[in-house]
Amino acid sequence: MDNDQLMKEVVAKANVWLGDGYDEETRMEVKRMLDADDKTELIESFYRDLEFGTGGLRGIMGAGSNRMNIYTVGAATQGLANYLKEAFAELPEIKVVVGHDVRNNSRKFAEIVADIFSANGITVYLFEDFRPTPELSFAIRHLGCQSGVNITASHNPKEYNGYKAYWADGAQIIAPHDVNIIDNVNKIKSVSEIKFKGDKSRIHIIGKEMDDAFLAAIKGLSLSPDVIKKYHDLKIVYTPIHGTGVKLIPQSLRNYGFTNIINVPEQDVPSGDFPTVDSPNPENPSAMAMAIAKAKEVGADLVVASDPDADRIGCVIRNNAGEYVLINGNQIVMILLNYLMTRNAELGKLTGNEYIVKTIVTTETIKAIADANNIKMFDCYTGFKWIAAVIRDHEATSRYLGGGEESYGFLAETFARDKDSVSAISLMAEIAAWAKDKGMDFMEMLQDIYLKYGFSREEGISVVRTGKSGAEEIQQMMRDFRANPPKQLGGSKVVTVKDYADLNVTDTATGTVTKMDMPTTSNVLQFFTEDGTKVSVRPSGTEPKIKFYIEVKGHMDTKADYDRCIEEAGKKIEAVKKDLHI
């Protein structure tokens, strides 16, 4: 499409938004963009419709078809309501849960979602205020609902908001419901089709009673209560980074028995502006700076954080030099799964019918730990809806111990079906006490894992490309990698290429192609080398970026080798990045 044609279509779409079906504030904003000399904002706001993807919506807030606003949220909800009435036509009552985070407009969007559902004859349980994402997942199952919606953009910058859709099992939607919902959303062609006028009699407010039930279930996950009693006064610094975790995580830690929880007062203030950080993402060192400063002040044993909707966990520990260092998402998952497997074994709870789950881009060291403990491990696609799908497929026959992904998400339970920092942080504190009881600090315990199961180091790189041109560039990068895969990475020959778009596994030496057993295809490429290096490449499904996941191996004979392994692995990662031209 040439620029003149694009502009003609953008202007035509924008003019529709000047109609009487849209409120005055929206009309004024659209008129401002139409009248502006620079049409960049107009194009970005209207060049496409904000897509209801397989996880819902996520985008910058503002007026326009490519923005998060009451009309794009309304169309998504009307489409979802229409599909629920088809899928559950035999039920006398269809029920949904609606929740939200602390972001600007989140409460407004949540109330509009509740109104639209109720206007369609659907019973709504609306949280009284912001709550962690995993509690919404729990509430769907606890209340026997058919669906749920959470208004959140997770750890994205403050300009963003999002819309996550859930199914009856408490997990984000997958096939066939994802495609069917998308079809129904796409059928909404006019704002007049959206039933905005709610039926308040169908909207029920929930709050403390759900908190209490959720926290009680999380307390039931504890495996070492006697150790916690012994080390109840561990110094634990926690920050919610202005998010929803402030509601439940300190209480969960107290429920477990910890008595020395140290807050970061400035970041306990819920705010969609996230005033003390550039980005509210606990995987970024800058977001953890205030918590680390507090840790230094009080001599903390552990520093933990949650992102704005409290589904992701950040963790800081002391290294061998006594410095506070951020551990990565792979290490968080590895530590949690190692504890759950090891502790279950210590307690004699393993029957040979247990399993764990990780995503394909998460460290392979977890597989070594599972194999050593004779525990089955499943690999799945990125995103907790896929971990939830594995749980659903095996809940009648096997026991789930835990699952996670490198992007700082973990799920220790089956009573919720989305990543959960409330339970993960509670267990991480328990692990700190457990390690101390064994005469180790957290770093020594991490080194002990590497010594037993092999050293690995991982790094994730996100290449951001915004807007229409950025999306096209990302697509071209994937085409180029498929057409010309790397022959070597970091000085080691690439021996296997996995392409999840067609589920082909190619042996580069022989050219032999075999098929993978996966539930569907996905736009992901993986390259494996002779020395155990793994590189995964995938466009983000929720953000304007392409992601590279690099994992390299090393060899440790003693814990004293750890720093050397870190240094050598860092050099290899840099060499791999150079080979990938990133």
Catalogue the active-site residues.
154
Question: Residue 443 is inside which H or E element, if any?
Answer: helix 442-453
Residue whose C-alpha is closest to residue 75's, from 197, 178, 195, 166:
195
Give buried/exposed letters for 423-455 (b at 16+ CB in 10 A, else e): bbbbbbbbbbbbbbeeebbbbbbbbebbeebbb
Q: Dig out the tokens for 364 from the structure.
A: 């392979």
Contact 238, 254 (CB under 8 A): no
Q: 3-state SS string over 213-235?
A: HHHHHHHCCCCCHHHHHHCCCCC
Give buried/exposed letters for 168-201 (b at 16+ CB in 10 A, else e): bbbbbbbeebbeebbebbeebeebeebbeebbee
Amino acid at 101: D
Neighbours of 30 (CB within 10 A): 24
How many helices (H) and strands (E) are present in the chain, helices listed first?
A: 18, 23
Residue whose C-alpha is closest to residue 573's, from 524, 538, 531:
531
User: Phi and psi of 379, rounded to 5°?
Assistant: -100, 140
Q: Dig out the tokens for 4 from the structure.
A: 């003149």
Determine the Cα–Cα distance for residues 6 and 343; give it in Å rounded to an integer.
Answer: 60
Contact 417, 171 (CB under 8 A): yes
Contact 60, 27 (CB under 8 A): no
- The crossing angle, in degrees rounded to 10, of helices 24-35 and 3-16 is 160
CB neighbours of 106 closer than 8 A, spacing ≥ 6?
Answer: 100, 130, 151, 152, 161, 272
Q: Pairing between strand 534-539 and 504-507?
A: unpaired
User: Phi and psi of 532, rounded to 5°?
Assistant: 95, 0
Amino acid at 83: Y
Question: How big, in percent rounded to 5, are the helix, strand and coil portions of the chain?
Answer: 40, 20, 35
Contact 166, 137 (CB under 8 A): yes
Q: 314: helix, coil or strand? A: strand
Determine the Cα–Cα distance for residues 556 and 546; give it in Å rounded to an integer.
Answer: 32
Amino acid at 531: D
Q: What is the DSSP letter of 173?
A: P
Residue whose C-alpha is closest to residue 155's, from 341, 347, 13, 287:
287
**Residue written as token pair 């205020």:** 129
